[in-house]
Structure 1
């Protein structure tokens, strides 16, 4: 399944894409796609005839974030071997964990907000993993049973805040709209191989990142199992699993985003998203 939400901000309609790509309204089953309704949605849609559900027009309709705001957003740093090489850093022996504020979460085409205090605004195309079932101390073999699905994420970063202000990564990762997500959450049955997904990112039409999840150091199952050793993963929690090479910080010379820049990114089978950088006063 592909789960999505369509409509104006704050008034989105929960939908599922059928086999023909038609958006079907599931508001008769759940009030919204949210951490609280994931369990009901998973159970209820198993035997539902999607063609019998109301159609929702997609042309010209805003695509919202594919679920309401998650409780937690976890991120894995330096998780691509080629990105670690780009950064000149050793491959980590264990996943590097940091958090983004849940308030960074936004729709896939919402703007990237630029503060006057930013000097090194950067991009990162990433595979997002959405938890579908509570997980604590689970094995790698059982980890994917706790995953609702996969999505595209742009882990937007302000590098000066991340690296030059005391080394606490959360500071450079947690500004509003720093986590565009979607357009869909794609359930594992529709993802042939999450370990071999091509991904890309363009800035102003120029290809910056070209990568593949096959260079991930720690795969999805490993990450979910590992995190569950230290914390309870709840339905709806979002895990951003790292980025391939080509980030602005790694360019020679480094290249960062400015007001008016346009970012486009995508992952094969998971859709694409785009953002324009705007001054925060313009929101």
Structure 2
């Protein structure tokens, strides 16, 4: 039986709890740029993931107004992309990459991915034309001698790495970063795309960074969960050895149910319980 796909949104448009739960404590494509932009950004991000693992709740659950507006515009953006390109899209779902999770907005039926962004007008203009406002902007002259700009600004770092990660997870060669900004319709710029190709050296760079980040996160989680395991196990062993009934042994073991313990600690508890069980009369209550 094929594995059931997990979508970000339920049919009624609300956030899917299963999608949120699956992402807890995991590196995700939408935030993966934070492990690619220096130690400080990576440390902050991994601390959030560590907190999610410990609390089993998502850090930063709130969405800003612009983010909510952008999500609400995704269906409209997908339809605009289909009209502009002639391609057919299907809604993306949660995908497992090597050490991270990704949820592309859309899969292109003929191959490829689409990640939609619906920034406010100021942000959109800055990302596409902001480089023209900087002193060292690269300029070219056309045949008429006028200054022209052949290239738009580079895609933001977070969008770029998100698209790269999604290509890896979906095993697709490219992802179209599609900007949809209804407020720019008066200048015919309500929709434009940047195709981001998955390059071998970039893929390796990302996967290496993900591997290092996961090693750090796992080590930190072990330190948190195992830091007092010796004390806990010693206390439970004392309770088991002092137990006067099978029920009391069960109560002692139940006190650590759900705790994450090293395999060696679990073995110590199992052996203590087995010894005590054999020493107690069968069926003794108390």
Report the TM-score, using the length of structure 2 for normalisation.
Answer: 0.23
Based on CA coordinates, which of the two structures has the bigger radius of gyration?
2
More helix by share: 2
Report the TM-score, using the length of structure 1 for normalisation.
Answer: 0.24
